[in-house]
Amino acid sequence: MSDKTSAVAASPSGDPWLLTPGPLTTSVTTKQAMLHDYGSRDKKFIEINRRVRSSLLNIINGKDDFVCVPLQGSGTFSVEAMLGTLLPRDGKLLILVNGAYGRRMAKICDYYKRSYDLLEYPEDQPVSVTDLDARLGEDKAITHVAVIHCETTSGVLNPIAEVAHMVEKHGRSLLIDSMSAFAALPVDASKIRFDAVAASSNKCLEGVPGMGFVLVRRSVLEKTEGNAPSLVLDLYDQWVQMEKTDQWRFTPPTHCIVAFEQAIREFEEEGGVEGRGGRYASNCKILVDGMRAMGFETLLPDHLQAPIIVTFHKPTDPKFDFQNFYDRLAERGYLIYPGKLTVADSFRVGCIGRMGNDDIRAALAVIKETIVEMGVKNCAPAAAA
């Protein structure tokens, strides 16, 4: 499809670069960890599982008060398990919504017939702590609040610390979906109060897909026996089983877990949250500066942009066709994401995964070549064209 022949980019393992919010480009050593088979009852595997759970608690400084409950499946499995187990049948959840993942929480509550209400905002705006204060003051029936840390619909960063302090002020329980931000942006139990945070293996910890986890305040989880309307997504039952036997209730994703241990080891060697988040922030700045230099406009202003995935307005130039743009980049070894917004036509480019600054610069060079090949003269959106 390209108008000229050029080299195809590839990660060190020969795969396309994944400029997405996950699954991500992973290190060769993380991939290599999956070349070995483990029995789910084997001592070696049990020790790996124990180390992974302990390491995840260290990331939130939560070892004294929290427990780690891993689950098979995607991150949404863990979010659903968190809501189903921790929200009592007579409870009420207030969901702070500014994108698809907040709305997904509402859908889960619909399935489980749990009471909930929404505070909803446009996808290019963070949630409002002032509105939260007012709503919690007005509605005493609300027992729990749920918020998305980084809403990857747009890439907007929500004010987690301020939300946590407001929920604590009103004496309610806070549940955080930190799926795309965990390990790159801080969620520190020693500094803010929350009762649970859900995340997964294949985002900023740079593991492979196949498992999620919920880090739950022990004193809260101990009171949830019988809450869950699902057998496989019952965090309480999974936790009790692991505490008794160090084993999963059902067949664990063994290869995913041993790869995850390697990925966590590399995260720690990079300097933990500060090191990983620092690399991503640098990637993000280079990406945004480079795209703006070509004329593309970001959906979000810099102060709202999380260093995870960046949403760009689609150019109005008639020569720009997203599928053509996507296919040409894919041919050259770069996979991006389509937009997911209702507020604007857009596409998304991730800056996380096992990529450094030079890899982002190489991607920008290919994007620039692709725009020229397509004959696109103006990359600005309608409002700025």
Structure tokens given for 84 = 């189903």
Tokens 């965990």 belong to residue? 182
Residue 171, Ramachandran bin (φ over 0: left; ψ between -120 and 50: alpha; else beta): left
Tell me what pLDDT residue 182 has.
98
Tell me what pLDDT residue 344 has.
80
- State pLDDT tens for residues 246-261: 899 999 999 999 999 9
Tell me what pLDDT residue 281 has.
98
Tell me what pLDDT residue 1 has.
45
Please identify every stretch of the chain with a pLDDT value under 70, giving residue numbers as ranges.
1-6, 383-385
Tokens 């995913």 belong to residue? 256
Tell me what pLDDT residue 9 has.
81
Instruction: Walk me through the domains of the chain, giving residue ranges and CATH numbers.
Output: 17-26+272-384 (3.90.1150.10), 28-269 (3.40.640.10)
Tell me what pLDDT residue 343 has.
74
Tell me what pLDDT residue 148 has.
98
Structure tokens given for 295 = 């004329």
Q: Which residues contact 359 (CB under 8 A, 6 or more apart)?
A: 17
β-bridge mates for residue 34, sequence order = none
- State pLDDT tens for residues 15-68: 999 999 889 999 999 999 999 999 999 999 999 999 999 999 999 999 999 999
What is the Cα–Cα distance from 274 to 278, expressed in whole angstroms?
Answer: 6
